[in-house]
Amino acid sequence: MRQIVWAVLAGLLFGAGLAVSQMANPAKVLAFLDIGAIPSGGWDPSLAVVLVGALIVTFPGFVLARRLNKPLVAERFEWPTRRDIDVRLVAGSVLFGVGWGLVGYCPGPAIASLAWGRVETVIFVLAMIAGMVIWRRTLGPKTDAPVSAR
């Protein structure tokens, strides 16, 4: 139960950060991603400040976490074990980037944006979930173990 409370609090903090920073605003994200608009002055670099701020906060957190024997609110750390770059990783990264560039949403901000109740956001999230289900049933891992246990 304690883990659920911490997860909800972390999710609320993350969602609030996305909203305040405008990372959940697809128009703002698309203006940031449109580096071709630099010569015309239409490029919006403000999200770069958000990204740098996230790195400034995250890096010391990971350094601290690596020094701990166990997380503060979980039984164990779930560190990735694979280090190789394969076709699936590259294809997934490209698909993620293309999707982000086309609509201005990635999964976290899309879910946070559901709070505004826009039809476009609901359609995106439903399509995202459908894509996840299709991947899981076709190309996904061939195991019954939950994703975090692998």
Residues 6+ apart with CB under 8 A from 3: 73, 74
Beta carbons of 148 and 78 less than 8 angstroms apart = yes
Contacts of 13 (CB under 8 A, 6+ apart): none
Write the pLDDT tens digit of every residue in 52-100.
998 999 999 999 999 999 988 888 888 888 899 999 889 889 988 888 8
- Kindly report the pTM of this predicted structure: 0.73
* Domain map (residue ranges) of the chain: 2-144
